[in-house]
Amino acid sequence: MSVTLADATTTILPLRLYATLPFWPLLGALVVGMLVVLRRKASAAHWPVVLGVAASAVLAVVLFLDLRPTPSSAVSSPAAPSRAAPEPPSLLGRGQGEGQSAHPPGALRAPGLTYTLYNWISLGDQPSLRNQHWLAVNFYFDGLTAVMLLFVTVVSTIIVVYSIGYMRDHHGHPERGYERFFAFLGLFVFSMATLVLAGNFILLYLGWELVGLCSYLLIGFYYPRPSAAAAAKKAFIVNRIGDFGFALGIFALYWFLTAGADPLVQRGENPLDYATVFKCVGALEPWQITTVALLLMCGALGKSAQFPLHVWLPDAMEGPTPVSALIHAATMVTAGIYMIARCTPIFGASPLALNVILVLGLIGAVLTATMAAAQYDMKRILAYSTISQLAFMFVGLGCRVPDSAVFHVFTHAWFKALLFLGAGSVMHALGGVIDLRRFSGLRHVLPHTCRTMLIGCLALAGFPLLSGFWSKDELVHAAFERHPVAGLILLATAGLTAYYTFRMFFLCFHGKLRLPDDAAHPHEAPLVMIAPLWLLAIGAIFAGYLGVTFAAGGDSFLGFIRPHGVLHDYLHGSTIGAPEHGHGGLWLMYVSALVALAGIGLAWARFGQAPETDPDARALGGLWRLWHAKYYFDEIYDYAFVRPLRNLGRFFSATDDYGLDGVIWLVAAVPRGLSFLLHFLQRGALQGYALGMVVGLAVMLLLWNWIGT
Amino acid sequence: MPTLLIAILTLGAVGLFLAMPGGRADTRRVGWVVLAAAGAVLLALLLRLVPGADPRGLFAGFALVAVFAALRVITHGKPVYSALYFILLIFAVTGLLVLLEATFLSMALVIIYAGAILVTYVFVIMLAQQSRPAPYDVKSREPVWGCLAGFLLLILLARQIELFLVPAQRTPLPAPIAEAPGTIEAVGVPLLTEYVVAIQIIGLLLLAALVGAIAIARRRPTTRAESEGDE
Amino acid sequence: MLLPYLLLGAILFVLGLIGFVTRRNLIIMFLCTEMMFQGIILNLVAFGRYPLKGAPTFDGQVFALFLIAVAAAEAALALALVVLLYRYQGTLDANAYRMLKDE
């Protein structure tokens, strides 16, 4: 039990109470599991998880208030002076060499609080660890933790409440597996909270894998359906590919920090604690940092479904809709962004890794946005939009503004959860139909859903003054500072985002009322589903204002709002530090607002009446078909990786069946053949045996004679 | 001498093979002639080996009778005759035991073997008697291999005995046991002192055999036809 | 004096053995084992009477007595079995009893 105090300590509640945060959902999940074992009534099985997740949400809110940044910590941050003197935006942006000098080696520190639960893994008797041989289960609290936990737990709570209504049929009876679903939800929130709170890389990896496991369990919730089972497997395996790199990155980090006669890690320090790593990382060779950063990035690519490894996320729609909302908004995919933001001291020291992240983010943003523009499955459109938005965040991370990336994660969580739950409400009303070609004009049938969905779509499209606008604009801004081409790509993608978002919205809610045959009497969802939608809608509108401040001045949007708020103060007090933000391009805000409006307007022009045939399909022709087929990524991967691997597996299997088993068969055949020869002697005749004994005795005597003489 | 011995024994093997039941009557007769020749030469040889004069004639006689009886036991086609020739063999052995000054043992042998065991054998033979000679009595089983292996063993044993006794051959004969040659007392005292544990165990063995024999005899076996019918 | 007795014992033993191997009647086979016992009894007593070293002893005769007891036990069991087998299959042919043959 050791508490390291950096600048401040908690005042409202003791730190050990905050450390219980992840365990309330776990407790709820265990209680539900016990109920399953005891075969209690299923219809009340949601209560333990709802209470557990709500408890953690309350703790997270209090923690957020408790960890509020003090003015002293903002002043003491080393990059603060440079923020006061913004540079004019240049074509090249900040040079790489300059960026490194912004984080001089050894200057970074871990400005958070560490709470050690217990000693976990013995590291043996290493000379560098004479005083402390343990890797601890320790939690790390700083501004980043507070921000992440805030939306993870609160959004999760709302989603869990929504699930109470969603996971029932039209008569209000729970679906099959209702208890199992809630147990997994609790486990999911526990995993994500552990991931966010982890104070060292091993615990981070544990949470990382737990999240992957929970996604597997929940995507495959309808496991009797083959497509669901396949999607669960796909999610798990694609994540494994990334996690392999992540694990290698942790190994490399440990090796670099502890190898040699004079290791970087001092006595008594645990080599994988954040505090130690971020203190020592500046002293590593550049190639070592780049290696570690690129390997860690692989993990983020898998978990956050970025460009080469993005294929699992659209298929994850096979799970129940609240699961999609949970994965896309609160948990799972945000983990990759969080990890890179948390490891800013590592990534910031490796320009190469940042450039790779930037390029991958740009590619992913464009690719997935175009894919989303040619889909008909509402949930798939939302899934591609998630990947696209995460790619925006990657661009932000690559442009050295992790605080903006985390800000976008924060706002994105609200409106993406809202959109998914709204889509779930549509599904609920239409009996599971989600194909946009089969229905339209639902605005009068589902009034609440329509209104909340409109808010969510506006936020996603970057409509001015809604939450998505503020955070997306920061990212676009940073990209422009980094390189104008990157900025233009992001801006175009933002417009495309607005376009496909409202394409979906208009196709669903506008035009004349059309219903699928198997859902003749659609109805609005019950209160337990509508209330979460409105809560999230409030979040989608106002969450952005945590990242802006009201201040009159020349460099502010609409004359009174400055894009730098309390959230940034939180993040600057964390391991992210305070990156530089250019403030010269205020015109960009107006431009991006115009782009968003233009996208919405274009969508209205083409889809405002919800035409039954898609005008884009005719207008774009082959390009549209390419988008619709998702650039044939699945097929390419199938040919390039899956089939060769499967053939390799068949080859190994055949080697086992015929090669190894053949050898074993041969080994077994030798004694069998010998015994076949001998079995002629076993004739069952008593006198034959006696004769054999006589001959044997004679031979023995003969031998004795021969040797004796 | 070894070559001579080997020749004699080979001759005996051939004779025995010819005399085995199953062949034609004239070949069997030839076999007996060969056997008689081999026996005569062997006897001459044995007599030459035995020094001194007194027991020589008696030993030769008993030995002759014993070998002849043994041959008849294994060559006779009728089981009852085999058993009777076995009794003759017992008497011959008894004579030899008397020559070896084992009087008590010789009497015991006559009483137990000839009187008890052989009578049982004869009973069983009578029990399983069939009206005609059984085919398994008329024809022997693989006489070539049996004779070959048996006489190979005999040659080797003889060679072994000879090698073994070459040093002992020249030593003078030990004197006869003067005071109590082979009486009950002479045998009984070591039997009940030195070998008391062994005799207990032997008693136990006899008891077990008795119980086992009774247990076996009490079973009513299903005949082969019945047991196959059950399956 | 020892040599002729040993040779005679060996001859009786081997003749009994040949009989055991070649005769097919189960009773005769057991009779032949008794014959082998006779050869051995002769051997034992001859060794007792003419030991290779020292004075003659009665140990050979004692062992011969044991052997007679063993022979009696064997005869009792063997004949019981023969009777059983005869009742089972109606023949005393040793070739008829080869149920342990490996097919």
A355: Cβ contacts below 8 Å, ≥ 6 apart = A398
Give φ, ψ of B90 to 5 degrees. -60, -45
- Nearest Cβ partner for C56 among B71, B153, B174: B174
Residue B193 falls inside a structural domain? no
Q: Which range among A5-14, A174-183, B87-96 has the greatest average pLDDT?
A: B87-96
Identify the burial level of B146 via C-beta atoms within 10 angstroms of its C-beta, where 0-12 means exposed, 13-18 middle and 19 or more buried.
buried
CB proximity A551 to C under 8 Å:
no
Checking DSSP bridges between strand A3-4 and strand A113-122, what pairing results, if any? Answer: antiparallel
Residue B228 falls inside a structural domain? no
What's the distance, Cα to Cα, between the start and end of chain C in Å?
52
3-state secondary structure of A135: strand
Compute the distance between CA of residue A477 and CA of residue A488 in angstroms, rounded to an integer.
10
Residue B89 falls inside a structural domain? yes
Compute the distance between CA of residue A352 and CA of residue A356 in angstroms, rounded to an integer.
6
Residue B45 belongs to domain with CATH number? 1.20.120.1200
Residue B227 falls inside a structural domain? no
What confidence score (pLDDT) does residue A75 get?
37
Residue B191 falls inside a structural domain? no
CB proximity A690 to B under 8 Å:
no
In chain A, the percentage of residues whose pLDDT exceeds 90 is 26
Q: What is the mean predicted confidence (pLDDT) over A39-64? A: 86
Of A690, C27, C22, the closest CA to residue B19 belongs to C22
What confidence score (pLDDT) does residue A493 get?
92
Q: Which amino acid is at A496?
A: L
Residue B198 falls inside a structural domain? no
Tokens 């790509």 correspond to A489
∠ CA(A43), CA(A45), CA(A51), 5° rounding?
130
ipTM: 0.91
Domains with residue ranges and CATH for chain C: 2-102 (1.10.287.3510)
Q: What is the mean predicted confidence (pLDDT) over A575-591? A: 74
Supply A319's token pair.
């799970």
The chains in contact with chain C, meaning 3 or more Cβ pairs closer than 8 Å, are A, B
CB proximity B141 to A under 8 Å:
yes
User: Which residue out of C17, C22, C59 would a mutagenesis test of the B interface target, given it has the greatest number of B Cβ atoms within 10 Å?
Assistant: C22
Identify the bridge partners of residue C93 per DSSP, sorted by sequence position. C25
Give φ, ψ of A289 to 5 degrees. -65, -45
How far is C-alpha B202 from the chain's CA centre? Answer: 22
User: Which residue out of B156, B157, B166 would a mutagenesis test of the A interface target, given it has the greatest number of A Cβ atoms within 10 Å?
Assistant: B156
- Chain C, residues 66-85, CB within 8 A of chain B, namely 66, 68-77, 79-84
pLDDT band at B52 (very low <50, low <70, confident <90, very high): low
Interface contact B146-A702, CB threshold 8 A: no
Interface contact B136-C14, CB threshold 8 A: no
Q: Is the pLDDT of residue A397 over 70?
A: yes
CB proximity B64 to C under 8 Å:
no
Residue B206 falls inside a structural domain? no
What average pLDDT is seen over chain B? 80
For residue B48, the enclosing domain spans 2-178
What average pLDDT is seen over chain A? 82
pTM of the model: 0.66
Checking DSSP bridges between strand A549-550 and strand A561-562, what pairing results, if any? Answer: antiparallel
CB proximity B145 to A under 8 Å:
yes
Residue B207 falls inside a structural domain? no
Question: Which range, of A344-358, A598-612, B47-61, averages the lowest pLDDT?
Answer: B47-61
DSSP assigned state of B114: I
Q: Count of domains in chain B?
A: 1
Of A347, A406, A361, the closest CA to residue A573 belongs to A406
Compute the distance between CA of residue A331 and CA of residue A188 in angstroms, rounded to an integer.
8
A256-306: pLDDT as tens digits: 887 766 677 766 677 788 888 888 888 888 888 999 999 999 999 988 888
Interface contact B149-C21, CB threshold 8 A: yes
Q: At what angle are helices A686-708 and B143-169 packed, to 10 degrees?
A: 30
pLDDT band at A552 (very low <50, low <70, confident <90, very high): low
